[in-house]
Each structure stands twice: as C-alpha cells, then as structure tokens.
C-alpha cells in the first residue's frame, strides 16, 4: 500500500491517491472528515484555520461505502484559494502580477532558501507553498483511511501532547488507548495532565504576544497490535525504523524515540529489557513496555509507544535576520501567516503517519486483496502466536 500527495498551500486544493487497499473495506467520507477536523483544532492555531473547513471529496475507489480494491482518490479544497487565484495561477499571468507576492527573503529554519537553490527558483514562494505544513491535510486523510482499516482489525491509535515550551505533562501511569483518545480530545492542547495543559496554553499565548513560536513533544500509542509485524532480516524491513522515518517526515519534526527512548542510555539493562510473561488467556506479554512494543524491529504484541519532537515553527511575526537573494543585503525574513504553536495539531498528524506505517505492515504480512480474508488471517495469526 502506498500514497502520493499533491497540492500547494494556497493552490486550488490538496490531493492524495492511495493504492493497495483491500476490496470490501468499509469507508465513508465522514471517517476522513472526523480526522481532518481534529487536525484543525488546538490552542495556538492561526487565522488560516478560521478560513479552512476541511472536507474531503472522495472521487474514486469507493462504491456504496466500500473500497473496490482500486486506487482511492481524495481531494480537499482550499477555501482561501479565491484570494490567491492570480498569485498561484496555473496559467501564465502578466509579469507585474507574477511578482506581487514574490518571496526573496528566506526564513531561517524553513525550506525556502535551500529549496530555491536546489530547484533554481528565484521566487521562493515556489518552495514554501509545497513545503508548507498545509500538505499534512491530505496525509491526515490517508492516515484516516489507515486508522479505519486498523480499527476494523481491532487495532486502535491515539496521540497526545507530552510537552510544550518546556512544560511537561506529569503522567504517573500508563494510559489505555481509549483513555488517551477520550482525555486528549477534551483538552485544548491534547494533554492528559490538566495542570500542565493550563501552563502550556499560557506559554502559547505568551509566545504569540511576543511574536514568537514554541515547539514540543507528542506521543502516539497503538494498542491491539499483533506480534510479528516488520522483520529483523534486513535493515529496511524493521517497522520501528519505518515509523521513525514517518515521524521525522512531519514538517518541523526533528527526532523520534520508542518506549523509554534516549533514557535507555542512562539505565542498566536490567531496568530496560521487558521480562517475558505467558498466560493461557493472553499468551505472551511483557512485564513492562520500556522498548515501546518492539524487539528486533518487530512488534512484540505490546502497545507501540513512539514520541516525536517538534521544533518551533520557523515563521515568526518578529522575524529573524535573513539575506535578500537579489541584493544579498541583510533584511528581516519574510512573514507568512502562521501559528504560534502547532504541537496539538501535530499530534493528530503523528497519529496519521504512524497508523499508515502499521497498516502497511499489516498488508505486507497478510493477504490484502479482500478485506474479509484479511480479517480472518489476522485473527488466525493472533491465535497461533498465543499458543506458540
């Protein structure tokens, strides 16, 4: 299973095409729209979210509420396009209009300058329109489809915010996936700790007031995962490596960790390895989940626990020093409409990309032509690994 996305931030809209879904899987537009709405929420979002009310148009691959086994095409319209029709026109426009919103002052920390150097664009709007986090709209749409597939197989995905601007949630126990879903959804910053959430919101407000931005850490938990997804036999077959790549592919994300993550470097092995247990009812489990559900690049049946770190958004209303690519003189960087903090929204994007990788791993391991056959094979595998 694979997908591509296309579209610019202020173009007519965003498109994704998914290939490789099994035939006969239930899928409705509302399954996708629910996730798109979640991506648009969260304390710290900017004016763009008041303009866009993302709704998906499914234009291929579904008939009467079920997948056909053919590619699924989805389109999300950009409502703001009407204000950018000349600037982002597909057809040539007079030169005076073409330069009306030309960007020649790259933003530090963004793709602007390097993208312009790479592709030879002297107007860096050609870069920033595609490198914008607006593209994650259709990644969330693709992730919504993956989450639907996983849900039908008894696999659930939840995300939440662990830290914003140095304020970290104080979580004294592990939360079930259903708890994370319910509690994070009720929080303006998708945080499970109400006290920390208040402080996070204050820090977001302070950053906005100062023309600044702040980042944070999100965590995704996947429950009900069968053991044996991924493989140890080649480096590129390891599922945790694929998930790490997916996390870091999200705009502004700079790192990923599983389970206790980098803390493992500070602990002895006896406090890191997860002791193996067995019972007739549950089969093989682990006493702890320090390794985040992975051993040897494969799922071990425990919940997947992965975290990603998001840097502050590089678009500042109090812009940093940059260099004009025409004159080579020092100027303040260009300012594009942006959020002061997008960490809560990014947790939804993280859910989507993790769900996608897990769904792909499921379809790599099991027969993916027919959804009814897939469900049967997954259940058979669960029973076999329990009795191993």
Q: Is 168 annotated as a binding residue?
A: no
Cα separation, 236 vs 210, whole angstroms: 44
Q: Give me the pLDDT at residue 216, please.
A: 98
Q: What is the pLDDT of residues 234-247, one digit of tens each?
A: 999 999 999 999 99
Residue 380 DSSP SS3: helix
Q: What is the pLDDT of residues 288-314, one digit of tens each?
A: 999 999 999 999 999 999 999 999 988
Q: Is 251 annotated as a binding residue?
A: yes
Q: Is 337 annotated as a binding residue?
A: yes
Q: Is 204 annotated as a binding residue?
A: no
Question: In sequence order, what are the residues at sequence separation of 6 or more whose Cβ sits closer than 8 angstroms to the Cβ of residue 34?
Answer: 144
Q: Give me the pLDDT at residue 335, please.
A: 77
The model carries a pTM of: 0.95
Q: What is the pLDDT of residues 353-376, one digit of tens each?
A: 999 999 999 999 999 999 999 999
Q: What is the pLDDT of residues 46-87, one digit of tens each?
A: 655 556 689 999 999 999 999 999 999 999 999 999 999 999
Q: Is 33 annotated as a binding residue?
A: no
Residue with tokens 């897939």: 374
Q: Is 173 annotated as a binding residue?
A: no
Checking if the pLDDT of 98 tops 70, the result is no
Q: Is 132 annotated as a binding residue?
A: yes
**Are the C-beta atoms of residues 177 and 154 closer than 8 Å to each other?**
no
Domains contained in the chain, number: 1
The average confidence (pLDDT) of the chain is 94
Higher pLDDT, 355 or 97: 355
Checking if the pLDDT of 334 tops 60, the result is yes
Cα separation, 286 vs 293, whole angstroms: 9
Q: Give me the pLDDT at residue 44, please.
A: 73
Sign of torsion over alpha carbons 40, 218, 250, 252: positive
Q: What is the pLDDT of residues 101-142, one digit of tens each?
A: 889 999 999 999 999 999 999 999 999 999 999 999 999 999
Residue 312 DSSP SS3: coil
Domain range for 28 is: 2-387
Q: Is 213 annotated as a binding residue?
A: no
Q: Is 136 annotated as a binding residue?
A: no
**Are the C-beta atoms of residues 153 and 366 closer than 8 Å to each other?**
no
Q: Is 312 annotated as a binding residue?
A: yes
CATH number at residue 172: 3.60.150.10
Q: Give me the pLDDT at residue 97, please.
A: 62
Checking if the pLDDT of 94 tops 90, the result is no
Checking if the pLDDT of 386 tops 60, the result is yes
Q: Is 92 annotated as a binding residue?
A: no
Q: Is 130 annotated as a binding residue?
A: yes
Q: Is 314 annotated as a binding residue?
A: yes
Residue 303 DSSP SS3: coil
Q: Give me the pLDDT at residue 99, please.
A: 55
Cα separation, 200 vs 197, whole angstroms: 5
């Amino acid at each position: 299973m694979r997908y591509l996305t296309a579209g610019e931030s202020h173009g007519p809209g965003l498109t994704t095409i998914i290939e490789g879904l099994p035939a006969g899987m239930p899928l409705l537009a509302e399954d996708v729209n629910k996730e798109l709405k979640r991506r648009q929420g969260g304390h710290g979002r900017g004016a763009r979210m008041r303009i866009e009310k993302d709704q998906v148009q499914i234009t291929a691959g579904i008939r009467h509420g079920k997948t056909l086994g053919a590619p699924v095409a989805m389109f999300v319209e950009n409502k703001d396009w009407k204000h950018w029709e000349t600037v982002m026109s597909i057809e040539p426009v007079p030169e005076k209009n073409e330069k009306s919103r030309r960007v020649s002052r790259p933003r530090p920390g963004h793709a602007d300058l390097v993208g312009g150097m790479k592709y030879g664009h002297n107007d860096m709007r050609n870069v920033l329109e595609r490198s914008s986090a607006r593209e994650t709209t259709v990644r969330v749409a693709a992730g919504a489809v993956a989450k639907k597939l996983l849900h039908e197989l008894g696999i659930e995905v939840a995300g939440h915010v662990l830290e914003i601007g140095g304020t970290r949630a104080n979580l004294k126990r592990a939360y079930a996936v259903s708890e994370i879903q319910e509690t994070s959804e009720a929080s303006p910053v998708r945080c499970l700790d109400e006290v920390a959430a208040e402080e996070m919101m204050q820090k977001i407000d302070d950053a906005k007031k100062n023309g600044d931005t702040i980042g944070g850490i999100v965590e995704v938990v996947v429950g009900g995962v069968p053991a044996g997804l991924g493989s140890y036999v080649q480096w590129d077959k390891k599922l945790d490596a694929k998930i790490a790549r997916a996390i870091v592919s999200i705009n502004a994300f700079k790192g990923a960790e599983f389970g206790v993550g980098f803390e493992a470097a500070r602990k002895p092995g006896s406090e890191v390895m997860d002791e193996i247990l067995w019972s007739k009812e549950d089969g093989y489990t682990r006493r702890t989940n320090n390794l985040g559900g992975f051993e040897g690049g494969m799922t071990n049946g425990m919940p997947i626990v992965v975290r990603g770190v998001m840097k502050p958004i590089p678009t500042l209303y109090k812009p940093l020093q940059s260099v004009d690519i025409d004159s080579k003189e020092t100027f303040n960087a260009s300012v594009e409409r942006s959020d002061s903090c997008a960490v809560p929204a990014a947790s939804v994007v993280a859910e989507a990309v993790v769900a996608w990788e897990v769904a792909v791993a499921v379809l790599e391991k099991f027969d993916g032509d027919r959804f009814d056959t897939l469900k049967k094979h997954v259940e058979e595998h669960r029973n076999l690994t329990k009795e191993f």
